[in-house]
Structure 1
Amino acid sequence: MSTRDLVLAALFAAIIVALGMLPPIMLGFIPVPITAQSLGVMLAGVVLGARRGVTAVLLVLVLAAIGLPVLSGGRGGLAVFMAPTTGYLIGWVLGALVTGYVSQTMVSRDQSGLAQGASFFIAALLGGVVAVYGLGVTYLAFVTGMGFLKAFVGSLAFIPGDVLKALIAALAGRAVMVGYPLLPQRA
């Protein structure tokens, strides 16, 4: 990785951490809060691409593991990796990878703005919702013993917010593509 790649990954890691400063919203019927950090994961994949997006997410997770309060609600330390929400944290890595890969594959500068926006939206949905929920719900069901169906049904309350986050990520990806043509290709 070049210095520029590392700087961009660090910038997006900082964005993910900053989004974690917004207070989490607990629903009460499932031990997973609504946070804005998943938007940062989608943004990292859409803007930076797979490799740099994954690097940004891994940087946040390493900072959390060493005890820095970088996760939503000021959480950090190894204990966050022993909670029912650990699957979602691991899902962030896959989410950034999938979002970045799909956006790299589907989006090009010669497409129309609508096609770019739609492609970014699909990428953010596949990575930020499907991939993250796939790991998160599976881990939650396994660790809590509530069963996959119950964990999946409980997670449905989060889908509308995450679809809105995917839309925001798509709009941001489109804006970056138009506004910063000198930004190196997503990789």
Structure 2
Amino acid sequence: MKSSRSLALVSLFAALMAVFGLIPKIDLPLGVPITLQTLGVMLAGCLLGPRRGLQAMLLFLAAVALGLPLLSGGRGGFGVFLAPSAGYLLAWPVGAWVTGMLMSALPGSTPRGTALSAFLASAVGGLLTVHVFGVIGLVNIAHLSWTQAFFGTLVFVPGDLIKCGVCALVVHTVARGLPDWHFGGRALK
């Protein structure tokens, strides 16, 4: 029963990433668009935990690599992993894992405390981790200098902080509505 529940949750969050991909992207001269899909990375880590969050992102990226146009703007195929945004995409599984690890380690005895933990976990996993990989991708794929890549990725930070807040609100709502939910996947073994 637990394995079928795990499979369902992983598939559900991979599908959620696809739904977030339906929201139009905002193209930037940097070659990396602003999308809502990093919110899915944050939610997967917070709600599923490290292992299932990682699995959901890997499943989603596998579907993208096979050519399904699931990325914002209808992008898909192996070529997206050779574009300037590849570092960000490859960071999604790691970001979900880091977010889930932090979420499972941070306190959360009340809905408000759980939401605060979700904001912090999302900021470190869904924002910092993803941006570190993104900068490395920009340097290696787009051939930007480290300084250009660092300052270029700062454009995304205000929006990503808003996504951290939205993730915290969703987690707060889930914590209030489903008090037995085990954030960070603590009991979803």
Report the TM-score range of the alignment, normalised by the length of the smaller protein: over 0.9
Deviation of 1:182 (Å): 4.2
Corresponding residue number in structure 2 for 1:153: 151
Deviations 1:139-169 (A, max 9, x none): 1112222111101101111100000001111
Corresponding residue number in structure 2 for 1:97: 97
| Structure 2 residue runs without a partner (length 5+) | none
Corresponding residue number in structure 1 for 2:57: 57
Deviation of 1:72 (Å): 1.0
Corresponding residue number in structure 1 for 2:137: 139
RMSD of aligned Cα (Å):
1.4
Separation in 2 of the partners of 1:171 and 1:65? 32
Deviation of 1:177 (Å): 2.1
Separation in 1 of the partners of 2:70 and 2:167? 21
Corresponding residue number in structure 1 for 2:73: 73
TM-score under structure 2 length normalisation: 0.92
Separation in 2 of the partners of 1:74 and 1:95? 22
Whether contact under 8 Å (1:41, 1:92) holds in the other structure is yes
Deviations 1:14-51 (A, max 9, x none): 111100011100122x1100000001111111111111
Distance 1:107 1:17, change over 3 A: farther
| Structure 1 residue runs without a partner (length 5+) | none
Corresponding residue number in structure 2 for 1:27: 28
Deviation of 1:180 (Å): 1.7
SS at match of 1:57: helix
Whether contact under 8 Å (1:142, 1:148) holds in the other structure is no
Deviations 1:67-94 (A, max 9, x none): 1111111111111111111110111011
Report percent identity of matched pairs.
43
Deviation of 1:107 (Å): 3.4
SS at match of 1:2: helix
Separation in 2 of the partners of 1:4 and 1:107? 25
SS at match of 1:144: coil
Corresponding residue number in structure 2 for 1:36: 36
